[in-house]
């Protein structure tokens, strides 16, 4: 079900617009301000592009580019002018929006943050990326879990960022918390193209959940982001994609959260999100609800360790020019230095 990309909207449909934003070069605060204005302008383009659109989604790094710059000069705050500008744009154009910032963190490296703003300009969701793409990305690992909100038409929406989607546990957590649509924003470059596609489809199918996914697009003179916007239905099928790789194109699709709910209630075979916690319910009443997975048990006990742990070569960011960290997770720099 796609309604010709949302041109023909059904009463239960939610129309998504995924912006394959041109990858910018960001070096100064003025660059940040100019890019924030471009993004606000693209919110208006999204509304003009498709009057039926409910939610416009911008990629990770839409504001900051791929420089990995951690200077305060180019980082942002949730109450700063950039977010305020996008709130005003969402309110003006009566559309929900998903945006990306690198959030200033006085206790360590910045957080890589995704936000969702509603059509009245209210900040509804803030997510800190839990799995930075190490060793390349210096961002502080997220400490607030995966929030799920009620979005347009009452759809339950979750948000993860880029490398997060390579971990099946992230999509499962979003679904377990009720997400019917999971957004995945990214700045990935072309070598990840195949993995991007099959993980987006697997995340959808394994959790009976729509996934809506988009990367930055085009070149900044050093990196080539791939665009590759794609919407996957809850059966894993691709219902819209942006394989043309055209920068600033808005790829659209109508999705049906009501059909997600129907599948989760009525599927028997391959209702995997339910069956995960009810193993073998044909044989035993209610199924087995234990946790037979060693890696989960060890992670909870603080003893997660791979059989090949000693052979892992890259365990910090020094190969990418970042200093070896001394601060533990949860510590601030001042505490670590004492």
* Dist. CA 236–CA 267, nearest whole Å: 14
Residue 3 has pLDDT above 80, yes or no: no
Q: What pLDDT digit, counting tens, does each position of 238-287 carry? A: 999 998 889 999 999 999 999 999 999 999 999 999 999 999 999 999 99
Whole-number pLDDT of residue 197 = 97
Q: What is the pLDDT of residue 1?
A: 55
Give the mean pLDDT of 140-152.
97
What's the confidence (pLDDT) of residue 94? 98
- Per-residue pLDDT reduced to its tens digit, 9-51: 999 999 999 999 999 999 999 999 999 999 999 999 999 999 9
Which pLDDT belongs to residue 32?
A: 98
Task: Report the pLDDT value the prediction gives residue 69, as an integer from 0 to 100.
Answer: 96
Judging by DSSP bridges, how do beta strands 238-241 and 230-232 pair with one another? Answer: antiparallel
Question: Tens of pLDDT along 286-307?
Answer: 999 999 999 999 999 999 999 9
Please count the CA atoms within 13 angstroms of the CA of 182 that sit on its side-chain side. 36
Q: What positions carry a catalytic annotation?
A: 60, 129, 162
Secondary structure of residue 337 in the 3-state scheme: helix
Residue 198 confidence (pLDDT): 97
All structural domains of the chain, each given as residue ranges with its CATH number in brackets, are 3-275 (3.60.110.10), 294-337 (no CATH)
Average pLDDT over residues 132-136: 97
| Per-residue pLDDT tens digits for 152-165 | 999 999 999 999 99
Nearest to 215 by CA among 24, 25, 60, 35: 60
Query: Please, what's the b/e burial string for 297-334 (b: 16 or more CB within 10 A of its CB; e: otherwise)?
Result: eeeeeeeeeeeeeeeeeeeebeeeebeebebeeeeeee
Give the model's pLDDT for residue 109.
96
| Cβ contact 82:64 at 8 Å | no
Per-residue pLDDT, 145? 97
Tens of pLDDT, residues 169-219:
999 999 999 999 999 999 999 899 999 999 999 999 999 999 999 999 999
End-to-end CA gap in the chain: 58
Residue 282: its pLDDT value, please?
Answer: 97
Q: State the pLDDT at residue 190.
A: 87
Question: Per-residue pLDDT averaged across 220-228, rounded?
Answer: 93
pLDDT tens, 45-99?
A: 999 999 999 999 999 999 999 999 999 999 999 999 999 999 999 999 999 999 9
Label the pairing between strands 96-103 and 224-226.
unpaired
pLDDT of residue 337: 44
Output the pTM of the full model.
0.96
């Amino acid at each position: 079900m796609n309604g010709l990309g949302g041109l023909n909207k059904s009463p239960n449909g939610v129309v998504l617009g995924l912006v394959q934003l041109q990858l910018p070069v960001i070096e100064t605060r003025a660059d940040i301000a100019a890019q924030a204005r471009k993004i606000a302008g693209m919110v208006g383009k999204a509304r003009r592009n498709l009057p039926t659109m409910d939610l416009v989604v911008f990629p990770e790094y839409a504001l900051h580019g791929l420089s990995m710059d951690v200077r305060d000069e180019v980082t942002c705050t949730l109450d700063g002018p950039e977010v305020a500008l996008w709130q005003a744009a969402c309110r003006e154009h009566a559309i929900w929006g998903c945006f990306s910032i690198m959030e200033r963190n006085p206790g360590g490296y910045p957080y890589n943050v995704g936000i969702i703003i509603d059509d009245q300009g209210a900040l509804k969701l803030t997510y800190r990326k839990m799995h930075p793409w190490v060793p390349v990305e210096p961002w502080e690992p997220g400490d607030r879990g995966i929030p799920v909100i009620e979005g347009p038409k009452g759809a339950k929406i979750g948000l993860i960022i880029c490398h997060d989607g390579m971990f099946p546990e992230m999509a499962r957590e979003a679904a377990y918390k009720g997400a019917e649509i999971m957004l995945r924003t990214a700045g990935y470059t072309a070598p990840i193209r195949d993995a991007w596609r099959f993980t987006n489809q697997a995340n959808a199918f394994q959790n009976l959940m729509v996934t809506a996914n988009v990367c930055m697009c085009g070149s900044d003179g050093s990196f080539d982001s791939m665009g590759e916007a794609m919407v996957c239905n809850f059966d894993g099928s691709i219902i819209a994609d942006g394989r043309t790789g055209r920068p600033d194109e808005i790829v659209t699709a109508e999705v049906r959260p009501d059909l997600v709910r129907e599948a989760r209630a009525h599927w028997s075979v391959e209702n995997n999100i339910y069956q995960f916690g009810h193993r073998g319910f044909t044989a035993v009443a209610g199924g087995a609800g234990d946790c037979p997975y060693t890696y989960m048990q060890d992670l909870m006990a603080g003893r997660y360790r791979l059989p090949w742990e000693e052979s892992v070569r890259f365990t910090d960011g020094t190969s990418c020019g970042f200093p070896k960290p001394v601060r533990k997770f949860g510590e601030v720099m001042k505490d670590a230095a004492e």
